């Protein structure tokens, strides 16, 4: 018999051997619990793990039994024993100590069993990860719950692979990726999850689209606490910890506040002889000033901002408290003012109502108030000062500060580069790239947007894609990093040379296409509506009328010109193996690919079908290498020719990710039928994946998800034996295998025409 | 010359309200005086159709309106043979009706129609002012009161759907846009019968939504939408509810854009 709690272990591919379980579970069903616990305890004593483990067990077992049932208490001994063997006895004791609060949290026997299964699942492949995991277990469980916790742990194991240091960093949460995944699994709102909404909201409210970025961690590695703006760029913290459930509101409030600064602020203040305290007060008044102006136009923003002003009107008159009170009093007319300094501030602010349009008002009031405060004995610690309330920005954008060597200046540059690339998704074709950038910076305040390096060796991160793990049964968000690479320089005369080489073929295809396009116009007889009367039908109808029977009313004829509406995204596999020659003396596979693609592109242009061509390869999950040979809006010009002829073989084949990317691109093209057409010479593979089924399952999942959104996926497998697993991925009707590769240029367009008829 | 009684059904009895923002009335009247065809350009819901109705009323001419659609053929405009008990007979289409009897013919969203359709208006829009009915073998000379008006929304146009250069050059054109905030608020207040202050709030919200034009929305909320929202408010809904019902939900299905629009509504109320 396998007890209930052992089953999740099996699910996590960590079978609990029956011989181990049996003694505990069947020791004596009739015995009272105490006896059985005592027996388990005795076994732990006898096993020689030291005194700590049995003692911890003795304390934990009765309480665990109380919360999670007697079986759980007995399984505890078993699990502790295995942890002591594979990790260390100390970890086992730590586990036993933790089991009581966890049993209380998990309550049900079943979820406690899942938790045990989770730990044992970690124990086998990564015993070293157990200690850091146990240390943070309560926090992790509180944020995630048991299901997402399993997913997060599994993700960590897979992410680190055999890299011990990486694994430690993940489970100790030192790896930023680990924290990010944690937030994601916890379903919390982070900058990433809200980015699109925030961008659109800012655009709607203020009519501007400044770049909005996630703030990079500061030099010390601590995450940014407050939003920030400057040089036309808005930076928001990756997340606002400690405000669970309100993150979304904070992000919105923070962005609205910065919007107010940008709409109503003036040039940067000069620091001059000002003390840090004065700078802080002036900033505070300026915050209130721009908010007041924004509220005149958009009174509803008050509801967004006000809840974060939660400072009480009384209490110790410390600087943070006074600042909080002044800030609140300036936005909240109902806030009772009980401190002279705050009252003075509010009165000056009200008196200055006439000049509220000018930032000089803030400077004037802030100067005086700062002086006043400086003369009292109130302490101000500039180093630890954090602007309150939480939605306000760090005010650095208000001041013309001397460059601070400790500031992460270079980081800032990199930040803009890497993050800005995502913006270019919609715009770029290689030649437009630079002009686009120039335009952007023209209508924005001068910002140091550095054009991304265009060298072919350096990829530009353009996004992240999920990947499906069939073992865990989950789709891991943001798992594969998509990078775009500039095409290697190719032959500008590619098209002309193709015409020379393949002249007869192209001519044949042209007539084929013409026939295909012509044949589609059909005369439609006996229609209910149409351009003219269908003579035959009209005569018949007249006869029937005169015979006093009911005529058929369909007496017209028309011409059907159904719009040809199909868009195709062609994916070219340029992995290393495509460099192989087709036969001993023949050209390489990739040369044939280029040729065939050229011919097909020709045919499609004639048909007027929108076509995009992307070459893909991969170098681990961090580098899905895409070369955009042709985008939907590009013409078949010298540039596409160069890009196509510049394709070089290299790296591996992560096919699922490429399919997802192509699908996402295709989804925005208005067409009745959308097709992702893949040309590949082999099975999916990548350097960081050893399980041959993993990428196959992921690709199948990608195909299914595209199908469900109305995008067809079709694969052309090149070479003998290439299609072994393609039926699994694309289904039997979703792929065709071409053995004689030399015929590819000829076959591909014909195949396409047949497919899209 | 008076128009025939056939078109009486197309006459406007009551005045369609029009709030003049420029001297468009004078310009249109001048074009009508010279019997020149007119093209009205502007985003959806800014009042193109209302303006034509107003002008037809003002000039005391019947108005034949045709909403063009993708499947519209030339026959749908000029007419076709129908089969009757005694054989075939010809039935005039709306354009032929207007040409024959002297009305203003308004082709709404002309680019939506198939390209061959637009060509038949060519002979009508130059100094010949004739409409050849090919199938019937008839040539109609336009009634002196006849005028052709088309509307055209530059925002929708793609490469595939654009007027031919030869078509465009036959028309005088009036540009329409959403009126200035103050004027728009007055229009909304009077059309929806709500207080000026509420109308101003609605207009402010609309301006926020127009910020998203081309950045998630193909158009911002139109004046028409504002009037709808205003009517809902007059019926007792709150601003937020009315905007959601009449503006946000119809305009987009993108959850991010919806969130942004809701934020804009929240901010303005």
* CATH code of the domain in which A575 resides: 3.40.50.410
Do the Cβ atoms of B269 and A300 come within 8 Å?
Answer: yes
A204 to chain B, closest Cα gap in Å: 5
Weakest-pLDDT range from A5-9, A96-100, A253-257: A5-9
Does the pLDDT at position A7 exceed 70? no
Domain around A151: 4-185
Q: Is residue A586 part of a domain?
A: yes
Contacts of A423 in chain B (CB under 8 A): none
B120 to chain A, closest Cα gap in Å: 14
Across A287-306, b (16+ Cβ under 10 Å) vs e yields bbbbbbbbbeebebbbebbb
Residue that terminates a domain, selected from A185, A217, A237: A185
Alpha-carbon distances of A468 from A346, A589, B134, rounded to whole Å: 57, 30, 63
Q: Does A533 touch chain B (CB under 8 A)?
A: yes
Q: Is A110 in the same domain as A214?
A: no
Burial zone of A370 (CB within 10 Å; 0-12 exposed, 13-18 middle, 19+ buried): buried
A 235-294 → B contacts, CB under 8 A: 252, 256
Weakest-pLDDT range from A339-343, A346-350, A719-723: A719-723
Write out the two tokens for A363. Answer: 């400077």
Contacts of B256 in chain A (CB under 8 A): 196-197, 199-200
Q: How far, in Å, CA of A698 to CA of A476, rounded? A: 11
Tokens 């999942």: give the residue.
A701
Question: Any residues with CB less than 8 A from the CB of B214 and at least 6 apart, and which?
Answer: none
Q: Does B216 touch chain A (CB under 8 A)?
A: yes
Q: Is residue A196 part of a domain?
A: yes
Q: Is residue A360 part of a domain?
A: yes
A250 to chain B, closest Cα gap in Å: 13
Do the Cβ atoms of A197 and B261 come within 8 Å?
Answer: no
B 23-62 → A contacts, CB under 8 A: none
Identify the band that residue A241 occupies on the pLDDT scale cut at 50, 70 and 90: low
Average pLDDT over residues A626-644: 87
B218 to chain A, closest Cα gap in Å: 13
Domain count across chain A: 4
Q: Which of A522, A509, A679 is nearest to A607 (CA)?
A: A509
pLDDT at residue number A424: 37
pLDDT at residue number A290: 93
Q: Is A174 in the same domain as A284?
A: no
Residue that terminates a domain, selected from A147, A168, A185: A185
Better-predicted residue by pLDDT, A688 or A239? A688
Do the Cβ atoms of A532 and B135 come within 8 Å?
Answer: yes
Do the Cβ atoms of B257 and A200 come within 8 Å?
Answer: yes
Write out the two tokens for A389. Answer: 């309330």
Write out the two tokens for A148. Answer: 């997402």
Q: Is residue A431 part of a domain?
A: no
Phi and psi at A508, nearest 5°, equal -65, -45
Weakest-pLDDT range from A68-72, A494-498, A561-565: A561-565
Average pLDDT over residues A131-146: 84
**Taking CA atoms, what residue in B is nearest to A257?**
B267
CB-nearest partner of A298 from B83, B209, B267:
B267
Within 10 A of A445 (CB to CB), how many other CB atoms are there? 12
Better-predicted residue by pLDDT, A495 or B261? B261
Rg (CA), chain A: 34
Question: Any residues with CB less than 8 A from the CB of A509 and at least 6 apart, and which?
Answer: A599, A602, A603, A749, A750
Secondary element (H or E) of residue A153:
helix A146-160
Tokens 């369909």: give the residue.
A554
A 204-223 → B contacts, CB under 8 A: 204-207, 209
Alpha-carbon distances of A648 from A310, A429, A488, A627, A644, rounded to whole Å: 61, 19, 8, 10, 9
Give the end-to-end CA distance of chain A in Å, rounded to a whole number.
Answer: 60
Q: Is A104 in the same domain as A223?
A: no
Count of A–B CB contacts within 8 Å? 80
Weakest-pLDDT range from A444-453, A543-552, A647-656, B195-204: A444-453
Q: Is A680 in the same domain as A739?
A: yes
Average pLDDT over residues A24-28: 44
Contacts of B73 in chain A (CB under 8 A): 531, 558
Q: How far, in Å, CA of A723 to CA of B208, rounded? A: 54
Q: Is A664 in the same domain as A732?
A: yes
Better-predicted residue by pLDDT, B90 or A489? B90
Q: Is A510 in the same domain as A524?
A: no
A198 to chain B, closest Cα gap in Å: 7
Q: Is residue A553 part of a domain?
A: yes
Do the Cβ atoms of A299 and B269 come within 8 Å?
Answer: yes
Average pLDDT over residues A736-747: 80
Identify the band that residue A732 occupies on the pLDDT scale cut at 50, 70 and 90: confident
Q: Is A635 in the same domain as A715?
A: yes
A624 to chain B, closest Cα gap in Å: 27
A533 to chain B, closest Cα gap in Å: 7
Helices (H) and strands (E) in chain B, counts: 13, 9
Average pLDDT over residues B123-142: 90
Question: Any residues with CB less than 8 A from the CB of B47 and at least 6 apart, and which?
Answer: B18, B176, B223, B224
Q: Is A293 in the same domain as A243?
A: yes
**What is the complex's ipTM, to 2 decimals?**
0.79
Across B173-202, b (16+ Cβ under 10 Å) vs e yields ebebebbeeeebbbbbbebbebeeebbbbb
**Measured CA angle at A707 (ends A705, A709), to 5 deg:** 75
pLDDT at residue number A409: 39
A639 to chain B, closest Cα gap in Å: 22
pLDDT at residue number B150: 93
Write out the two tokens for A631. Answer: 């985008």
Mutation target to probe the B interface, by most B beta carbons within 10 A, among A192, A195, A202, A204 is A204
Q: In what order do the strands lie in the sheet with B38-41?
A: B63-67, B104-108, B147-152, B38-41, B172-175
The verdict on whether omega for the bond into residue A431 sits within 30 degrees of 0, i.e. cis, is: no
A200 to chain B, closest Cα gap in Å: 5
Q: Is residue A461 part of a domain?
A: no
Write out the two tokens for A170. Answer: 């993940």
pLDDT at residue number B56: 95
Q: Is A559 in the same domain as A614?
A: no
pLDDT at residue number B236: 92
- In the three-class reduction of DSSP (H, G, I as helix; E, B as strand; rest coil), residue A460 is classed as strand
Does the pLDDT at position A9 exceed 60? no
Identify the band that residue A457 occupies on the pLDDT scale cut at 50, 70 and 90: low
Identify the band that residue B233 occupies on the pLDDT scale cut at 50, 70 and 90: very high
Q: Does B137 touch chain A (CB under 8 A)?
A: no
Contacts of B204 in chain A (CB under 8 A): 297-298
Burial zone of A307 (CB within 10 Å; 0-12 exposed, 13-18 middle, 19+ buried): middle
Does the pLDDT at position B2 exceed 60? no
Mutation target to probe the B interface, by most B beta carbons within 10 A, among A191, A193, A194, A201 is A201
Q: Is residue A469 part of a domain?
A: no
Proportion of chain A above pLDDT 70, given as a percent: 84
Q: Does B157 touch chain A (CB under 8 A)?
A: no
Q: How far, in Å, CA of A668 to CA of A662, rounded? A: 11
Average pLDDT over residues B16-39: 92
Do the Cβ atoms of B260 and A200 come within 8 Å?
Answer: yes
Q: How many CA atoms lie within 13 A of B213 on its CB side?
A: 13
CB-nearest partner of A203 from B204, B211, B269:
B211
**Taking CA atoms, what residue in A is nearest to B89?**
A533
A283 in Cβ contact with A366 (< 8 Å)? yes
Q: How far, in Å, CA of A693 to CA of A721, rounded? A: 17
> What would be the CATH architecture of the domain defined by B5-175?
3-Layer(aba) Sandwich (3.40)
Contacts of A300 in chain B (CB under 8 A): 265-269
Contacts of A197 in chain B (CB under 8 A): 255-256, 259-260
CB-nearest partner of B266 from A207, A300, A558:
A300
**Taking CA atoms, what residue in A is nearest to B75?**
A531
**Taking CA atoms, what residue in A is nearest to B220?**
A204
Do the Cβ atoms of A542 and B83 come within 8 Å?
Answer: yes
**DSSP annotation string for A247-296:** HHHHHHHHHHHHHHHHHH--SPEE-TT--HHHHHHHHHHHHHHHHHHHHH
pLDDT at residue number A104: 84
Contacts of A297 in chain B (CB under 8 A): 204, 268
Contacts of A542 in chain B (CB under 8 A): 83, 87
Better-predicted residue by pLDDT, A561 or A166? A166
pLDDT at residue number B32: 95
Average pLDDT over residues A134-154: 83
B266 in Cβ contact with A297 (< 8 Å)? no
Weakest-pLDDT range from A581-585, A601-605, A736-740, B226-230: A581-585
Better-predicted residue by pLDDT, A118 or A161? A118
CB-nearest partner of B81 from A200, A303, A533:
A533
pLDDT at residue number A426: 39
Contacts of A298 in chain B (CB under 8 A): 204, 267-268
Does the pLDDT at position A518 exceed 60? no
Tokens 């893949």: give the residue.
A678
Question: In chain B, where are the structural domains located?
Answer: 5-175, 181-268
pLDDT at residue number A414: 33
pLDDT at residue number B201: 93
Do the Cβ atoms of A207 and B257 come within 8 Å?
Answer: no
Extract the runs of DSSP E, i.e. beta strands, from A546-610: 556-560, 566-573
Average pLDDT over all residues of chain A: 79
Write out the two tokens for B97. Answer: 């009706």
Does the pLDDT at position A278 exceed 60? yes
Does the pLDDT at position B267 exceed 70? yes
Does the pLDDT at position A551 exceed 70? yes
Proportion of chain B above pLDDT 90, given as a percent: 56
Do the Cβ atoms of A531 and B263 come within 8 Å?
Answer: no
Tokens 């011409």: give the residue.
A559
CB-nearest partner of A200 from B74, B256, B265:
B256
Angle between helices A89-106 and A109-123 (to 10 degrees): 150
Do the Cβ atoms of A200 and B267 come within 8 Å?
Answer: no
Does the pLDDT at position B164 exceed 60? yes
Q: What is the pLDDT of residues B68-101, one digit of tens each?
A: 887 788 888 999 888 877 778 899 999 999 999 9
Residue that terminates a domain, selected from A185, A211, A238: A185
Do the Cβ atoms of A551 and B135 come within 8 Å?
Answer: no
pLDDT at residue number A403: 61
pLDDT at residue number A462: 84
CB-nearest partner of B209 from A204, A256, A531:
A204
Q: Is A153 in the same domain as A267?
A: no
Contacts of B267 in chain A (CB under 8 A): 205, 256, 298, 300-301, 304
Do the Cβ atoms of B267 and A300 come within 8 Å?
Answer: yes
Weakest-pLDDT range from A311-325, A352-366, A736-750, B185-199: A736-750
Angle between helices A340-351 and A276-297 (to 10 degrees): 50
Q: Is A334 in the same domain as A200?
A: yes
**Within its chain, how far is the Cα of B146 from the centroid?**
18
CB-nearest partner of A533 from B88, B208, B263:
B88
Q: Is A285 in the same domain as A144?
A: no
pLDDT at residue number B51: 94
Phi and psi at B30, nearest 5°, equal -65, -45
- In the three-class reduction of DSSP (H, G, I as helix; E, B as strand; rest coil), residue A297 is classed as helix
Helices (H) and strands (E) in chain A, counts: 30, 16
Q: What is the pLDDT of residues A591-624, one digit of tens each?
A: 888 888 888 888 888 777 888 999 999 988 888 9
- In the three-class reduction of DSSP (H, G, I as helix; E, B as strand; rest coil), residue A109 is classed as helix
Q: Is residue A433 part of a domain?
A: no
Average pLDDT over residues B45-70: 92
Please tell me the pTM assigned to this model. Answer: 0.61
Q: Which of A155, A147, A236 is nearest to A190 (CA)?
A: A236
**DSSP annotation string for A364-409:** HHHHHHHHHHHHSS----TTT---SSTTSB-SGGGEEPPPPTTS-H
A149 to chain B, closest Cα gap in Å: 28
């Amino acid at each position: 018999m396998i007890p209930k709690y052992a089953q999740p272990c099996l699910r996590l591919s960590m079978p609990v051997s029956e011989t181990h379980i049996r003694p505990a579970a069947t020791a004596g069903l009739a015995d009272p619990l105490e006896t059985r616990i005592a027996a388990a305890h005795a076994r732990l004593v006898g096993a020689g793990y030291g005194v700590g483990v049995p003692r911890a067990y003795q304390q934990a077992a009765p309480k665990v039994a109380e919360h999670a049932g007697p079986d759980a208490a007995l399984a505890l001994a078993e699990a502790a024993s295995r942890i002591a063997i594979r990790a260390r006895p100390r970890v086992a004791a730590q586990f036993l100590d933790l089991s009581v609060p966890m049993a209380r949290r998990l309550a049900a026997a079943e979820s406690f069993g899942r938790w045990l299964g989770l730990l044992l699942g970690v124990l086998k492949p990564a015993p070293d990860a157990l200690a850091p995991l146990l240390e943070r277990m309560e926090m992790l469980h509180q944020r995630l719950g048991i299901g997402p916790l399993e997913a997060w742990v599994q993700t960590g194991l897979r992410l680190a692979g055999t890299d011990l240091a990486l694994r430690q960093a993940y489970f100790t949460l030192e790896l930023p990726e680990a924290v990010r995944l944690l937030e994601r699994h916890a379903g919390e709102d982070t900058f990433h999850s809200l980015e699109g909404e925030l961008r659109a909201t800012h655009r709607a409210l203020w009519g501007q689209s400044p770049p909005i970025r996630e703030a990079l961690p500061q030099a010390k590695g601590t995450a940014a606490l407050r939003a920030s703006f400057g040089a036309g760029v808005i930076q928001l913290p990756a997340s606002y910890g400690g405000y669970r459930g309100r993150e979304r509101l904070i992000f919105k409030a923070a962005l609205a506040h910065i919007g107010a600064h940008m709409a109503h602020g003036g040039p940067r203040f000069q620091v001059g002889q000002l003390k840090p305290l004065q700078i802080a007060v002036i900033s505070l008044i300026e915050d209130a000033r721009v908010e007041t102006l924004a509220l005149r136009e958009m009174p509803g923003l008050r509801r967004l901002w006000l809840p974060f002003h939660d400072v009480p009107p009384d209490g110790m008159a410390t600087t943070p408290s006074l600042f909080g009170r002044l800030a609140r009093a300036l936005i909240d007319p109902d806030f009772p003012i009980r401190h002279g300094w705050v009252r003075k501030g509010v009165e000056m602010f009200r008196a200055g109502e006439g000049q509220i349009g000018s930032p000089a008002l803030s400077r004037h009031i802030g100067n005086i108030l700062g002086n006043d405060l400086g003369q009292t004995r109130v302490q101000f610690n500039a180093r630890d000062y954090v602007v309150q309330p939480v939605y306000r920005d760090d005010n650095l954008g208000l001041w013309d500060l001397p460059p601070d060597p400790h500031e992460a200046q270079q980081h800032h540059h990199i930040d803009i580069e890497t993050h800005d690339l995502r913006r270019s998704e919609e715009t770029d074709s290689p030649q437009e790239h630079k002009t686009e950038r120039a335009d952007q910076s023209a209508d924005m305040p001068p910002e140091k947007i550095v054009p991304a390096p265009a060298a072919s060796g350096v990829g530009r991160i353009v996004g992240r894609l999920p990947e499906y793990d069939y073992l865990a049964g989950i789709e891991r968000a943001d798992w594969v990093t998509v990078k775009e690479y500039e095409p290697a320089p190719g032959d500008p005369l590619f098209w002309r040379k193709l015409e020379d080489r393949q002249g007869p073929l192209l001519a044949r295809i042209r007539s084929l296409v013409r026939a295909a396009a012509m044949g589609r116009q059909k005369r439609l007889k006996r229609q209910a509506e149409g351009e003219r009367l269908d003579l035959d039908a009209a005569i018949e109808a007249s006869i029937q009328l005169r015979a006093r029977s009911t005529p058929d009313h369909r007496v017209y004829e028309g011409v059907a010109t159904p719009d040809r509406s199909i868009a195709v995204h062609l994916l070219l596999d340029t992995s290393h193996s495509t460099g192989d020659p087709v036969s001993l003396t023949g050209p390489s596979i990739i040369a044939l690919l280029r040729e065939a693609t050229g011919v097909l592109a020709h045919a499609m242009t004639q048909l007027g079908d929108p076509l995009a061509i992307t070459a893909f390869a991969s170098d681990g999950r961090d580098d899905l290498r895409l070369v955009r040979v042709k985008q939907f809006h590009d013409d078949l010009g010298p540039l596409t020719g160069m890009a196509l002829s510049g394709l070089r073989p290299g790296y591996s084949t992560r096919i699922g990710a490429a399919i997802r990317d192509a699908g996402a691109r295709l989804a925005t093209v208005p067409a009745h039928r959308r097709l992702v057409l893949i040309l590949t010479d082999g099975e999916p593979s990548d350097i960081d994946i050893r399980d041959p089924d993993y990428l196959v399952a992921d690709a199948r999942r990608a195909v299914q998800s595209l199908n469900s959104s109305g995008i067809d996926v079709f694969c052309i497998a090149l070479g003998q034996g290439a299609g072994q697993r393609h039926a699994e991925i694309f289904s039997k009707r979703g792929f065709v295998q071409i053995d004689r590769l030399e015929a590819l240029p000829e076959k591909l367009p014909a195949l396409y025409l047949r497919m899209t008829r | 010359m008076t128009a025939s009684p056939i078109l009486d059904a197309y006459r406007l009895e009551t005045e369609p309200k029009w709030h003049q923002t420029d001297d468009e009335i004078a310009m249109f009247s001048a074009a009508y005086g010279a019997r020149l065809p007119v093209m009205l350009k502007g985003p959806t819901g800014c009042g193109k159709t209302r303006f034509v109705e107003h002008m037809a009323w003002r000039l005391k001419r019947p108005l034949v309106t045709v909403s063009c659609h993708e499947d519209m053929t030339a026959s749908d405009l000029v007419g076709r043979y129908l089969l009757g008990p005694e054989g075939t007979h010809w039935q005039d289409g709306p354009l032929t009706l207007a040409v024959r009897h002297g009305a203003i013919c308004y082709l709404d969203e002309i680019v939506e129609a198939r390209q061959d359709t637009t060509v038949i208006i060519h002979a009508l829009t130059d100094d010949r002012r004739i409409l050849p009915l090919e199938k019937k073998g008839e040539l109609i000379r336009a009634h002196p009161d006849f005028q052709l008006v088309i509307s055209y929304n530059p925002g929708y146009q793609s490469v595939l759907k654009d007027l031919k250069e030869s078509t465009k050059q036959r028309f005088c054109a009036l540009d329409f846009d959403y009126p200035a905030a103050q004027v728009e608020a007055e229009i909304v207040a009077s059309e929806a019968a709500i207080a000026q202050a509420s109308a101003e709030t609605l207009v402010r919200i609309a301006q926020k939504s127009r910020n998203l034009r081309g950045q998630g929305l193909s158009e911002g909320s139109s004046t028409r939408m504002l009037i709808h929202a205003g009517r809902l408010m007059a019926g007792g809904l709150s601003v937020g509810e009315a905007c959601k019902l009449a503006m946000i939900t119809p305009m987009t299905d993108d959850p991010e854009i919806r969130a942004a629009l809701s934020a804009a509504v929240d901010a303005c109320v």
